[in-house]
A = this chain, B = another copy of it.
Amino acid sequence: MSRTPNVLWIMADQLRFDYLSCYGHPHLHTPHIDALAKRGVQFDKTYVQSPVCGPSRMSAYTGRYVRSHGATWNGMPLRVGEPTLGDHLRSAGARAVLVGKTHMTADQEGMAWLGIDPASEIGVRVSECGFEAFERDDGLHPDSERQRWSAYDDYLVSLGYKSDNPWEDFANSGLDEDGELMSAWLLKNSRLAANVPEEHSETAYMTNRAIDFMTEAQKDGTPWMCHLSYIKPHWPYIVPAPYHDMYGSEHIVDPIRSDAERTVDHPLLRAYQNARVCKSFSRDHVREHVIPAYMGLIKQLDDNLGRLFAWMDETGLSENTIIAFTSDHGDYMGDHWMGDKDFYHEVAVKVPLIITDPRPQADATRGTRSGELVEMIDLAPTFLNALGGAPKPHILEGRDLTPLLHGTSGFSRRFAISEHDYSSFEMAQELGVRQEDARTVMIHDGRWKYIRCEGFAPVMFDLETDPQELRDIGSSDAPEHVTARAEMECALTTWALQHHTRITATADVLASQHNAAGTGILIGFWDAAEFEEVTGTPFDSFQPIGKPPA
């Protein structure tokens, strides 16, 4: 076990932390993911750096806050020159390979400025968020901007599924009783079985592709980090048989919401509740239609992971592969009278995280749970460490989780941060908020969750007395709340003013700034005697280069 381990980083999309049996779901049994937790550490307080796909993933893949990398919303390119986990792993002699979704948009203007051909090896890598793309599939077609056709579409066509858009017409549609095609873009069709058998679905296909990669990688022997990134259970909410009717209304947990939340007088919260998607998921018949499909998609994912883990056991890969399982954000599903994601209640901003480390140093923690505050950006430095890379604290803002995996000291975090840019939401116009001000930021210390809403009163929850987050105390006059808000606001200011872009400050660069005399530059010395007294160096000898003329 002295050789470098590989890392398999599995990410589900839009998976709530509480829709797995190891996280307490009463009816959705996920034995394979639960088994992973028994072999590793299950983290109970893991927060994403933005409660939406694009920015959350750009943070995960760079190990940096949204404030730092600047890709604040879906479709916003990650700037050329923003260092990625892939760049760091390659420097450490490891491969960083993508199988699935990243939500990356390439920075064409930045590449043009720097004369980088998007079709070149570096151009492709830059366009794929620093990954070597074994398979790239954002799982949303058609998306006229990002993706018209994928290898998965070719796969379906090769199996005889004929369509201009097989992804939609087969994997993401169903047939009604008259055999008519019904699109899963419409929620009322969520209970239909997808128009493909399970083994041809996106989840099964991407599992197969991960096996293809690992089989190939075994041959070349270079250590690797493989990001297996599933699109599901993200919408369109539809799942193949038999998963489509595995769950019924009796398996649906009650929504986390209160009538009092509907009368909240915070303009931003009210605008969220009035957004169409939130009104839609606040309707019980929508929840009753969608949640069983959502649960089926998760159950199908668990079964596919069981197949994957079994294969890894057979091939011996499990013995030398760190496996991390997580998600990019949650899904409101009608909780708090909201739908989709985009805000900071636990169901949206907290994600499952399980990491199993096969190395003996991790034996002490197997099957344990950690209540430490963890951020998604912590995975990058953790994987870099596992693959033998030197830490890069001036670039990577996450914190290495290895001490928590090995039961040693050295990990600490006081606050988790998450950010959101709602400038492209209709509510920004409705509220008359300028594009550059349409942003919120959450700072959470494990008890107080303080959400600064530019231009509005803050929103705050006390997770100790109100774990369901039903009561906004952002404007409460209670002295304890006033004090807590002041402390959180101060901590937020300190965080905001930290260096987030000082990424060229390598140890070498910082060292070169000391000992000015060594550079031949002297400031404020009166005479040679003073110079020699201060530096202990004869004045005539201080210069590395200059000499008096001959």
Contact = CB atoms under 8 A, between A and B. Distances in A.
Interface of A: 67-83, 87, 105, 107, 109-110, 113-116, 120, 122, 126, 140-145, 148, 161-166, 168-170, 181, 185-188, 235, 276-277, 280-281, 283, 286, 339-340, 421, 423-424, 435-436, 439, 441, 452, 454, 489, 492-494, 496-506, 509-510, 512-514, 518-528, 531, 534, 539, 543-550
B76 A504 contact: yes
Contacts of A435: 510
B79 A81 contact: yes
A69 to B, nearest CB: 7
Nearest to A165: B546
B165 A543 contact: yes
A524 B70 contact: no
Contacts of A283: 526
A281 B524 contact: yes
A69 B502 CA distance: 8
Nearest to A121: B115
A103 to B, nearest CB: 12
A277 B283 CA distance: 70
Contact of A526 (B116, B188, B521, B525): B188
Given A163-B547, A509-B76, A187 B524 contact: yes
A141 to B, nearest CB: 8
B546 A169 contact: yes
A186 B545 CA distance: 17
A50 to B, nearest CB: 13
A363 to B, nearest CB: 34
Given A81-B114, A110-B81, A280-B525, A162 B549 contact: yes
B339 A524 contact: yes
A519 B109 CA distance: 22
18 contacts: A67-B500, A70-B503, A73-B505, A77-B509, A81-B113, A107-B504, A115-B116, A140-B521, A142-B520, A142-B544, A142-B546, A163-B547, A164-B547, A165-B547, A186-B525, A188-B527, A283-B526, A496-B497
A504 B544 CA distance: 44
A169 B548 contact: yes
A516 B15 CA distance: 22
A260 to B, nearest CB: 24
A179 to B, nearest CB: 12
Nearest to A286: B526
B142 A545 contact: yes
A510 B428 CA distance: 13
A492 B493 CA distance: 8
Given A142-B544, A548-B181, A524 B439 contact: no
A115 B118 CA distance: 12
A454 to B, nearest CB: 7
A378 B526 CA distance: 38
Contacts of A170: 549
